[in-house]
Amino acid sequence: MFRKILIANRGEIACRIIRTARRMAIATVAVYSDADRNARHAMDADQALAIGPAPARESYLAIPKLIEAAQASGADAVHPGYGFLSENAEFAEACAAAGIVFIGPPASAIRAMGSKAAAKALMEKAGVKLVPGYHGADQSEARLAAAAAEIGYPVLIKASAGGGGKGMRIVAGAEEFSGALAGAKREAQSAFGDDHVLVEKYLERPRHIEIQVFADQHGHCVHLFERDCSIQRRHQKIIEEAPAPGLDAATRAEMGEAAIRAARAVGYVGAGTVEFISADGAFHFMEMNTRLQVEHPVTEMITGLDLVEWQLRIAAGENLPLAQEALHIDGHAMEVRIYAEDPARNFLPAAGRIRHLAEPAPSRHVRIDSGVREGDRIGVHYDPMLAKLIVWDRDREAALAQLRAALASYELVGVHNNLALLRAIAAHPDFAAEIPDTGFIARHPELLAEAPIAPPREILAAAALHVLAARDTALQAQSAASSDPASPWFARNGWRLRDQAPEDVHLASAHGDHAISAFWREEGAYRLVFAGGDTVEARGLWQGARLRLTLDGQETRCSVVETEDALVVLAAAGEFRLHVIAPDAAQAEESAGDGRIVAPIPGHIRSVLVTAGENVARGQALVVMEAMKMEITLTAPFAGRITSIAATIGAMAEEGQALVVIIAEA
């Protein structure tokens, strides 16, 4: 077995690999970019080496730097994780040339499956059924458009060299094809350095089912059953489960055998995933990912196995730990991916500092794979996935109950995230009752609707107690600094010459202003009088941001987190953003749209599609940005004329920076 391994990755996957290596008494070496100097994975490893600036191409994608780091650290092997160079044949070959074991398949298998087009041709020869499509070398727009017409709309344009939803577009008709093709090629080139695409029939209401396979260096190959990955956004998975709901034993066996044929066809070694799309009772080969998958924990939860341990043992030359007949499914598991993104803004990646993080307690039923900590800053250079929440129980119904409970206790403040969406999906009756398919989120737009409820009185009370506690702290500081600290003017009981005076707390939410008068009772206790006369006796006990709140004898738990511009209260009723208004503050008026098109998040300018003085239509594409491995197209909010352009191709735009200015048509 290896003595020391270098992990050529970052974030939650690096932390997860470190966990298994430590259990197996294998030393670990982390690598980090300038942006990740204090990242969790760099702190968790036994050793950490700097490899370059924040941009991935200068650090995590720089093969010479990774090989140099592996040699300098004395590592026996390199684990590539997933993403970055995990499916890069040149990296596997560079490791071999340096005398370092690559914990993954041989370069030949990576190459065979690295191109979706080549892989489909290979699978067709191996007798694995394909989705109708064009996978040829002629990449001219005319040939691709003709292929789309032959296949019949709707079609799917997909990057040949990658995955994760990058370089992918659904095209409903011929009039959309040219623009969709250009966008897919741009995104594919940016993400994978290769703009080749393929065109396939887009199947209505398909399921995305994948089979986990493992092969050793001695000719043995097994499958570890299937995962359903149908709940997706932007063609990228956000919820996975195993086993696949509604899949009968015969189909499971047939898909498993097809996956093993696919692995054997390329001389596969190590962990891999064969992905199928299923519709109308049939399944078709999509692609093979020659690496460990983000969703591998659900397979671990239903088999009781550690797939990273299997990877390490196979790479060290050992036989597969178990034969096919020894593998069994136990219970049901679900995984949700927690992203720094804003679902209400078309899942736009988000950046910011994590002000508060409270994760569910791990147990036999609940597992957290995380790469972040409270206080970490989430930047724009890498994929926005922060963590994974995985649950297990005896069947799907019980596992779903575990998921709902775990999501309810997951708290994350400081950066936009998709927790509310995940909770909404888990609570939706159709998710519990139906067999999932890839169109689930699109069919249920209510999942993305922003319809905040008015903050109930326990939320307002929690926020008020937070404000009052902060005032108490400030008053104590003033008293300590005073020449007369015993002065009654520093009393914390609202003392005045004639009567106890209330403290006023003014809050604002999306539903209006909320005025509260607070009368001090004793330490941590107040009588709160709300606008309209509703009165409640409130008592709070604090532990950090966590508040044990008692209202008229009824106890509830919540958290109150202060951010740069708001108080965020998290409770069973939901997440509420409140603003504290100074008593003499003037109400600010929202300014009308002024025609400035601003960068929604920090990112690089990839294309400027208009010129100054040009007349544009409402919805016309103006600028294409790239941030967090995603292409973002900024469009005109109304018809008008471009008066100025500040966007420069290749430049880095800061959040809120004006890139284009439009004046409306007279």
Do 95 and 78 meet the contact criterion of CB atoms below 8 Å apart? yes
The structure tokens 């007798």 sit at: 127
Do 467 and 538 meet the contact criterion of CB atoms below 8 Å apart? no
DSSP element (H, E) containing 120: helix 116-125
Cα angle 3, 9, 14 (rounded to 5 degrees) comes to 65
548 is catalytic: no
Contacts of 376 (CB under 8 A, 6+ apart): 38, 39, 40, 353, 354
How many other C-beta atoms are found inside a 10 Å radius of the C-beta of residue 302? Answer: 22
Do 642 and 612 meet the contact criterion of CB atoms below 8 Å apart? yes
Question: Both tokens of residue 287?
Answer: 């692609």
φ, ψ dihedrals at 474, nearest 5°: -65, -40
Question: Both tokens of residue 543?
Answer: 């532990």
CA distance 344 to 453: 16
State whether residue 491 is helix, strand or coil: coil
Do 153 and 199 meet the contact criterion of CB atoms below 8 Å apart? no
Do 556 and 572 meet the contact criterion of CB atoms below 8 Å apart? yes
Cα angle 565, 54, 189 (rounded to 5 degrees) comes to 105
Which long-range contacts (C-beta less than 8 Å, at least 24 apart) are formed by 626-629? 626/190, 627/349, 627/380, 627/601, 627/602, 627/603, 628/349, 628/351, 628/380, 628/381, 628/382, 628/383, 628/384, 628/601, 628/603, 629/164, 629/166, 629/191, 629/382, 629/383
What separation, in Å, do the N-terminal and C-terminal C-alpha atoms of the chain show? 75
CA distance 57 to 51: 11
Closest to 461 measured CA to CA, from 522, 529, 402: 529
State whether residue 264 is helix, strand or coil: helix
Q: What is the DSSP string of 193-239?
A: S---EEEEEPPSS-EEEEEEEEE-TTS-EEEEEEEEEEEEETTEEEE
Q: Are strands 385-393 and 356-358 parallel, antiparallel or unpaired?
A: unpaired
Catalytic pick among 291, 313, 423, 606: 291
Contacts of 237 (CB under 8 A, 6+ apart): 208, 229, 231, 294, 295, 337
The letter for the amino acid at 647 is: A
Q: Longest C-alpha distance within the chain, in Å?
A: 94
Catalytic positions, written as ranges: 291
